[in-house]
Amino acid sequence: MSSKISRENFIRSIADLIRKAEIELPDDVVNALRKAESIEENQVAKSQLQAILKNIEIAKNHAVPMCQDTGIMIFFAELGTEFQPGFDLEAAVRDAVVLATREIPLRPNAVDPLNRNNSGNNTGSGIPDIHWKLVPGKQLKITVSPKGAGSENMSVLRMFNPTEAGSIKNFVLETVINAGGMPCPPLTLGIGIGGSFDKAARLAKEALLEPLDAPMNELEQEVLEAVNALGIGCMGLGGSTTALAVHIKTAHCHTASLPVAINIQCWANRHASIVFGEEE
């Protein structure tokens, strides 16, 4: 028995989901930016935060992307083991990206890594990037997280020795200092600790989807306070808020290894989710 959605409606829904992510930030992100503006005493930084908030308002009211870099399409899919769509989900997501690129429109960003030829529709080898996770149930939850290059290019991964766990905070600070204003702060920092080389990077990217108002543990709070003490501030022009939140995800790793990845997100922490299928 297939789930109750046609391929055509699925494509339409995913294209609309991409539109939502591009033009409207989640409430927790907007609220974090408003809080940063309200407490900022540096007038240059305050004016930049006010401009960001105005930009968010204009994008939502006029249904246009909030940033000229509309990113590459990253998807996180939680696929219920009893969800049976009756069509190729990955191909349908790809078609939805093509549709969204044409309709919204989105800047075509997907290029061949070597010859730099642009596909023109934000698809290509390995793009859109879809992370599949099997879960119990009859539903499919899809989250889209468009990722721009300014913040992605400042992201890093380092393979530490197992005895160097105490160096992680300084690694984060070093990364933020080197990034400066390039990733358009105030930032959200997703940190992945453990797993393997590639697992740590996936954890870091997943951490960016955590609500910004979710309680932070002791290490997350400690890192956030240290990052904001740097004084880099909004757009790198100084101020008290360099990062809005720090979220860390961990996984067990090899006894001889300690991978640590930092995925930096700009102020526009864009993502949106949709659920298909039957409730339990």
User: How much of the chain exceeds pLDDT 90, in percent?
Assistant: 98
Residue in this structure with the two tokens 């740590």, named with its chain if needed: 200
Query: Where residue 187 falls among pLDDT bands split at 50, 70, 90?
Result: very high
Encode pLDDT of 65-118 as tens digits: 999 999 999 999 999 999 999 999 999 999 999 999 999 999 999 999 999 999
Please state the domain extents for the chain.
149-265
Write down the pTM of the prediction.
0.95
| 2, pLDDT greater than 60 | no
Share of the chain residues as helix, strand and coil, in percent rounded to the nearest 5:
40, 25, 35
pLDDT of residue 249: 98
Mean of the per-residue pLDDT values for the chain? 97
pLDDT of residue 133: 97
Q: Which helix (H) or strand (E) holds 83?
A: none
Query: Where residue 4 falls among pLDDT bands split at 50, 70, 90?
Result: confident
pLDDT of residue 185: 98
Distances 225 to 30, 43, 96, 190, 273 between C-alpha atoms, Å? 20, 21, 40, 15, 30
Alpha helices, DSSP H only, in 24-159?
27-39, 43-62, 89-103, 149-152
| 161, pLDDT greater than 60 | yes
| 19, pLDDT greater than 80 | yes
Q: How far apart are alpha carbons 224 and 61 in whole angstroms?
A: 32
pLDDT of residue 3: 63
User: How much of the chain exceeds pLDDT 70, in percent?
Assistant: 99
Q: How far apart are alpha carbons 33 and 78 in whole angstroms?
A: 29
pLDDT of residue 279: 73
Stretch 215-238: mean pLDDT: 97
Stretch 200-224: mean pLDDT: 97
Stretch 52-62: mean pLDDT: 98
| 280, pLDDT greater than 70 | no
pLDDT of residue 1: 40
Positive/negative CA dihedral, 125, 130, 133, 134: negative
Positive/negative CA dihedral, 55, 59, 64, 69: positive
Token output for 211 = 């609500």
| 32, pLDDT greater than 50 | yes
Q: For residues 275 and 83, is the Cβ–Cβ distance under 8 A?
A: no
| 34, pLDDT greater than 60 | yes
